[in-house]
Amino acid sequence: MQILQTNFKAFIPTDSTVIIGLSGGPDSVFLLHQLIILQKTHNFQIIAAHLDHEWHTESYQAREFCIQLCTSLPVTFISKTISQLNFKPKQTGSQEDLGRQYRRYFFEQLAAEHTPAKIWLAHHLDDQIETFILRLIRGASLTGLTGIKTHTGLYIHPLLQLTKLEILSYLTINKLNYFTDPTNSSLDYLRNKIRQTVLPALAQTDPRFKQNFNRSLTKLQASEQFITRHTSKIYQQVITPEYLLNLKLFNNLENYLQARVLLHWLCQSGVKFTLSEKFLAEILRFLQHPNSTKSHKLGTWQISKKAGFAQISNN
């Protein structure tokens, strides 16, 4: 059974490298085996990358399982612990986000060393639903609610149309072993609570829930894509070739569109920031207030206003 078919070959140029995030769990083991099948008809290298977060005493067991698996296949295996990484993540208060930052750094360092390379991750439809509910609980915007994308930069998520049950069934039928992380059953983590309580309740309410969710998410993503294209057009109208913001045109926009254009302007200018409602609201108040003439600080950056235009500069 081959799941990854021709629609993904565009992400695997000849003689390129696929870096797969291998935790040892069922999802990443499934993806690894699918890549090995795909490798029979496409010329690319596979690197299985495993990061030991060192947060639990059992974490070394997952690494040992991955070593044995990759030795038996055989597949190149590269592993590190977070203490071996020269990286300081942003402290957001979420261990899940902390782990994500460490993994992304590790994967992207490998990708830079093995260019051309893409990073393949084994998130599936159940992960997509969990992520949606997590972000909904935390008050995410439309952009956040559109979830995990199939292709974003270096990252490929080829399993988003598959359910966890389909993955587990494949592994069982083909007698493929995987590692079970004991922390996945702990209700100390919000994602686990959603997985063990919310998702079963939704499925019990309507057995078609996952199918219907996927349709709704597709519509949300289409809406987000439309707004993004429209924002880009408006951005071209209110920004000069020198990256100055025309305040008269900007302040005539709807509030929602102002926030989208502002984000686009900050990103295009290379400003590093942590997105929050408070962050955007402070800048919008500064831009909208006719009597605010002092510069608005953004770390080492600042926004200043003069003669009806705003500009971003780096101190």
Tens-digit pLDDT profile for residues 160-215: 999 999 999 999 999 999 998 877 777 778 889 999 999 999 999 999 999 999 99
Q: Cα(265)–Cα(285) distance, rounded to whole angstroms?
A: 16
Residue-wise pLDDT for 118-157, tens only, equals 999 999 999 999 999 999 998 999 999 999 999 999 999 9
pLDDT band at 55 (very low <50, low <70, confident <90, very high): confident
More confident residue, 169 or 291: 169
8 Å CB contact between 194 and 158: no
Share of the chain above pLDDT 70, in %: 97
Neighbours of 258 (CB within 10 A): 20
Residue keyed to tokens 């100390």: 188
> Of 196 and 55, which is predicted with more confidence?
196
Confidence of residue 1 (pLDDT cuts 50, 70, 90): low
pLDDT computed for residue 294 by the predictor: 72
Radius of gyration from C-alpha coordinates of the chain = 23
Question: Which DSSP letter does residue 57 get?
Answer: T
Per DSSP, which regions of the chain are E strands? 16-21, 44-52, 76-81, 117-120, 151-152, 155-156, 245-246, 296-298, 301-306, 309-314
Question: Contact 60/67 with Cβ under 8 angstroms?
Answer: no
Tell me: the pLDDT tens digits for 79-114?
Answer: 999 999 998 888 776 788 898 999 999 999 999 999
Q: Domains in the chain, please, with CATH?
A: 6-213 (3.40.50.620), 239-314 (3.30.465)
Residue 252 above 80 pLDDT?
A: yes
**How far, in Å, CA of 302 to CA of 12, rounded?**
41
pLDDT mean across residues, the chain? 91
| Token pair in block for residue 198 | 């919310």
Percent of the chain with pLDDT over 90: 71
Give the whole-angstrom CA distance, residue 168 versus residue 178. 10
Whether residue 6 is predicted with pLDDT greater than 70 in this model: the reply is no
Residue 263 identity (one-letter amino acid): L
Q: 2 pLDDT exceeds 60?
A: no
pTM of the full structure: 0.89
Among the listed ranges 16-25, 48-57, 216-225, 229-238, which one has the minimum average pLDDT value? 48-57
Q: How far is CA 277 from CA 99, 165, 264, 284, 313, in A?
A: 24, 37, 15, 10, 22
Query: Measured in Å, how far apart are the chain's first and last C-alpha atoms?
Result: 57
The pLDDT of residue 295: 76
Q: What value does the mean pLDDT take over residues 265-270?
A: 92
Spell 271-303 as b/e; 16+ CB within 10 A means b.
beeeeeeeebeebbebbeeeeeeebbebeebbb
Amino acid sitting at position 32: L
Helix axes of 209-238 and 255-268: crossing angle, nearest 10 degrees:
70
